[in-house]
A and B are shown apart, each in its own frame.
Chain A
Amino acid sequence: MNLILTLIAFPFVVGAGLLWLRPDGLRKILVAGALLVVVGLSVALALVPAPLDLQNLPVGGHAISLGMLAVEILISLYLFYVGVRARHALIVLLVLAQAGLMTWFEFGPGAHAAGSQYLFVDQFSVIMALINGLVGGGICLYALGYMREYHEQAHREVPDRRPLFFALLFVFMGAMFGLVFANNLTWLLLFWEITTVCSFLLIGYTQTEEAKRNALRALVMNLSGGLAFALAIVWLQRQTGGVELQAMLHSPDKALVLLPAALLCFAGITKSAQLPFSSWLLGAMVAPTPVSALLHSSTMVKAGVYLVLRMAPVVTGTKVGLLVALVGAVTFVVGSFAAITCSDAKRVLAWSTVANLGLIVLCGGIGTAEAVWAGVLLIIFHAVAKCLLFLCVGVIEHKQHSRDIESMAGLIVSMPRVAVMMQIGMAGMFLAPFGMLISKWAVLKAVVDASPVLSVFVVFGSSATLFFWVKWMGKLVQVVAPPPRVPHELDLGESIALHGLAAATWLACLLFPLISTHLILPYVAGVYGAIGGPLSQGNITIMIIMMALVMLFPVTFLNRGRGVRVTDAYLGGANVRGSTHFRSTADSVQDVAIGNYYLSAILNEAWLARWGVISSAVLLAAMLLLPLL
């Protein structure tokens, strides 16, 4: 019990401390120390035999609730101020609506039923806590070196507000811990709102016009999710008399809790940046890289899919579930195809995040045991691999002053360590026996079992995924003219974070059967009753053989290509100076330049986004209206 409370409260305390800590050296020590504690605690949590006794809060639950109400009011006031200052009517309206609703609820009858359990822990929360602690911790560590370089070299024009930055990172982390352990929905909502505010502040960190605009957009979308959340709480309380997550999930009458579940799914969809709300995540790219990594991999968006997956047992087999699944499916397809059209590395990663979250939402909407199993696995693999990729892109951006994928040609020569780690991350994102592909396989099976029609989205989406990842991978290994080696690739914090994450990606792929049997299967079994593994033992064995086979690949590099002759690439016989130049018309000498395909002849990002938004908006509206009918 105390472990969990510490885990939630500790980052908040550290965050408050960091806010007042100016010297860089001290901050480094504090952040590193705090991270050790957080990582230690989350690992300890995973090792402690469940179930923990969660009934006894050290202080009266009611008192804490009142405290939380105060925080909530403060947040509302702040957001109100933000809305007024930005002259953004929608924000003001959303804040007022939510605050009014919650106040009315708090002082209405039966808001605090006796014996309510505020916190709970099961394997799913443990997984989320581990991701948050380990991946989030890695990001904070990375941010130490990154932000110094960011302010001192790359972006001198941005005002240095690092104390605030690190404080927010820790508060974010604490809120995320709270979010995954909260059972009382009002508590959950509070942590939800904290993540909204933190993301708003972090996206707007640079205070440029673009950053401010994108931060406000993120705020509006997340606030609308928050409002849906508040509505769900009120409705649930009116219908069932309680506001507990577990009670709701185990409610005997599913029809009764269907509307709150739909509303919570809506909230989850906004937070996980599904279409039609994807634009806030794409806009969040203006923030420094650690923020993008944090929003994309371990926190924020994961909170959204966490909630959707929690709702899975309620919505499974219903029309609401089908519509949620469709929103996810549409997002998956649109996101994957949109990623093909982009050459900005961060944008590709953002679209791929949106797409992968779509896949998870699809799992949540289908809601069968296998689908949920696949969804949880997706969360794990996506968190580590995507985080690794973001951090790598951050490093490359600082060293090469560009994050265009076209400028990454020959990275394997200029920054070999980063390039290899990116390859690991990408392998984890889509390559056959690794990570995501295992989950994608399970998703496909779950989808075919539940509703074969949805499978068409998965097959088209994954073919597009293949295209944009492979062409990026190819770009990294392709060397036309060997670029000079970048002297100082990584500093210590970055190095620890990247190596750790690369190792984590690798281990997660290798040890996924263990993760499955010890964490995911018990959770799924707890919710759905006993199930056999979605993948049979024989298939897992084949997977492992395949994995071992592919891992042998680097071994071939030991034999440095004996018995071959190195010669120039074929340039129609017009080579000048090896493979890098050729003789062109009028005896001019031209550079060999190779650029990827973006399929602009048939794909258009804006068009895709527009139709994605329209169709998913219709689906979402139907989802919210259906339970009312």
Chain B
Amino acid sequence: MNPLVQVLIYLVAAPLVGGLLAGWDRRISARMQARQGPPILQPFHDVLKLLQKENIVVHRSQNFYILFFLVLVIFTGGLFFAGADLLLVIFALTLAAIFFVLGAYKASSPYSFIGAERELIQMMAYEPMVLLTAIGMYMVSKSFSVSEIASHPTLLVVTLPGVFLGFLYTLEIKFRKSPFDLSCSHHAHQELVRGITTEFSGRTLAMIEIAHWYENVFLLGWIYLFFGSMPWLGVTVALLVFVFLILVDNVFARLKWEAMLKSAWVVTLVLGFGNILALALFSPSPAAPVAKAAPATLHAPAVVTPVPPPAAEPARRT
């Protein structure tokens, strides 16, 4: 499919799908707690209501950061579904998150501040694993380009089981689910009110909500990448993962940030890095990058052309 079309579909469909997923999330959670739960469309009602509410701020400029957060999250997803470079996608996502955090800092209230700091800790916790996921995918498919990875003939999850599990672990953080819903908690009013979103209201809060929808769809898209060669399996697993995250959310109590940071790092080192180490040791020529003569277009793989030094090249270590 034309990448431009994909991006357009993403731009239009992601908020719809994301909103439905959020509604589904609340419904399933309610069922797990033996409640009826709100209608599936509840998130849309919420956002439409927020758009009509008054917008109150502590500092006027705090809202500008959120506008950019939304724009950059959409941009990130757009890059991903256009099949761009995976590392670039991660950097764009990080940038978006930084704007979110800075907006909360700007609000200068103790609660949004704690939320911002915790959000930063969360970023520090998941960032290594997310980067290692991209690296693992590169080592298998020899490309950082999302479109190349998606069209890789083998199931990535077979060679990257550790990376997949590690990524799943960090998704709990990214989806702001218990046990790691530390920064804008749904379950911790008493300690940090609403954390990072405390001081945002009305239109701005709606923007944050929509940004999360976009982000969630993009993250599930990433899950799909692990099963790129079997599209139906990919979609199914992505949805199953979503249900799994809800289950974990309802089963576990919230942990402290130290526990989150340490466990995320341990998981990254053991599962993620262990997987990559195994790949580097056991794959036939792990060190030699594969040259690809592809045109440098938007969705082309990042071409890394190795050039032997003019002199005799010393034996590469394996």
Contacts and interface: CB of A to CB of B under 8 A. Distances in A.
Interface of A: 250-252, 254, 313, 316-319, 322, 368-370, 431-433, 437, 441, 444-445, 448-453, 455-456, 458-460, 462-464, 466-467, 470-471, 473-475, 477-480, 527-532, 534-539, 541-543, 546, 549-550, 553, 556-557, 560-561, 563-572, 579, 592, 594, 596-597, 599, 601-602
Nearest to A565: B56
Contacts of A567: 56-58
A556 B94 contact: no
Contacts of B139: 448, 452
B258 A477 contact: no
A94 B95 CA distance: 48
B113 A478 contact: yes
Contact of A254 (B105, B289, B314): B314
B304 A480 contact: no
Contact of A432 (B95, B265, B299, B303): B95
Contact of A538 (B111, B112, B298): B298
B63 interface: yes
Given A433-B95, A567-B58, A316 B309 contact: yes
B258 A538 contact: no
B12 interface: no
Given A449-B289, A466-B127, A569-B109, A542 B67 contact: no
Contact of A477 (B58, B106, B287): B106
Contact of B98 (A250, A431, A479, A541): A431
Contacts of A456: 128, 132, 269, 273, 276
B198 interface: yes
A565 B105 contact: no
Interface residues of B, number: 90
Contacts of B112: 569
B1 interface: no
A392 B46 CA distance: 45
Given A449-B306, A453-B280, A474-B105, A538 B57 contact: no
Given A549-B71, A549-B75, A561-B63, A569 B128 contact: no
Given A463-B124, A566-B56, A532 B303 contact: yes
A529 B306 CA distance: 10
A599 B258 CA distance: 9
B230 to A, nearest CB: 26
Contacts of B316: 317
A208 to B, nearest CB: 36
A536 B296 contact: yes
Which 6 pairs, one residue from A and one from B, show the smallest C-beta to C-beta distance? A561-B60, A474-B105, A569-B109, A432-B95, A463-B127, A556-B64
Contacts of A541: 298
B63 A564 contact: yes
B304 A322 contact: no
24 contacts: A441-B87, A445-B302, A452-B135, A453-B276, A453-B280, A455-B132, A459-B128, A462-B127, A463-B127, A466-B123, A474-B104, A479-B108, A535-B302, A536-B301, A538-B296, A539-B84, A561-B61, A566-B58, A566-B60, A567-B57, A569-B199, A570-B111, A570-B198, A597-B120
Interface string B33-77: 000000000000000000000111111110110011001100100
Contacts of B121: 467, 597, 599
Interface of B: 54-61, 63-64, 67-68, 71-72, 75, 79, 84-85, 87-88, 91-92, 94-95, 98, 101-102, 104-113, 116-117, 120-121, 123-125, 127-128, 131-132, 135, 138-139, 144, 193, 198-199, 258, 261-262, 265, 269, 273, 276-277, 279-280, 286-287, 289, 296-317
Contacts of B193: 570, 572
Given A455-B135, A474-B116, A536-B296, A445 B304 contact: yes
Contacts of B102: 470, 473-474, 477
A538 B299 contact: yes
A446 to B, nearest CB: 8
Contacts of A478: 105-106, 108, 113
Nearest to A525: B307
Given A546-B95, A556-B67, A564-B57, A445 B144 contact: yes
B305 A441 contact: no
Contact of A431 (B95, B106, B286, B312): B95
A337 to B, nearest CB: 10
Contacts of A528: 307, 309-310
A619 to B, nearest CB: 16
A550 B94 contact: no
A566 B199 CA distance: 11
A445 B128 contact: no
A569 to B, nearest CB: 3
B317 A322 contact: yes
B258 A602 contact: yes
Nearest to B269: A456
Given A538-B296, A564-B57, A569 B110 contact: yes
Contacts of A563: 55
Given A448-B138, A529-B308, A539-B84, 16 more contacts: A432-B92, A444-B87, A444-B131, A445-B87, A448-B139, A451-B280, A452-B135, A452-B139, A530-B307, A536-B302, A542-B84, A565-B54, A572-B193, A594-B108, A597-B117, A602-B262
Contacts of A251: 311
Given A316-B309, A538-B298, A597-B117, A449 B124 contact: no
Contacts of A368: 306
Most central of B55, B75, B120, B304 by chain A CB within 10 Å: B304
Contacts of A531: 305, 307
Contact of A569 (B54, B60, B84, B108): B108
A431 B97 CA distance: 11
Contacts of A560: 60
Contacts of A569: 58, 107-110, 112, 199
B287 A451 contact: yes
B39 to A, nearest CB: 29
A466 B120 contact: yes
A529 B127 CA distance: 35
B101 A474 contact: yes
Contacts of A466: 94, 98, 120, 123-124, 127
A459 B132 contact: yes
Nearest to A455: B135
B120 A471 contact: yes
Contacts of B67: 556
Contacts of A602: 258, 261-262
A568 B58 contact: yes
B47 to A, nearest CB: 18
Nearest to A580: B108
A449 B307 CA distance: 12
Contact of B110 (A471, A571, A599): A571
A145 B306 CA distance: 49
A546 B121 CA distance: 25
B124 A467 contact: yes
A571 B107 CA distance: 12
Contacts of A579: 58, 108-109
B89 to A, nearest CB: 10
A563 B306 CA distance: 56
B309 A529 contact: yes
A472 to B, nearest CB: 10
Contacts of A599: 121
A406 to B, nearest CB: 13
A470 B110 contact: no
A324 B105 CA distance: 39
A557 B121 CA distance: 29
Contacts of A460: 128, 265
B307 A529 contact: yes
A450 B94 CA distance: 25
Contacts of B123: 463, 466-467
Given A474-B101, A549-B71, A449 B60 contact: no
Contact of A601 (B59, B71, B258): B258
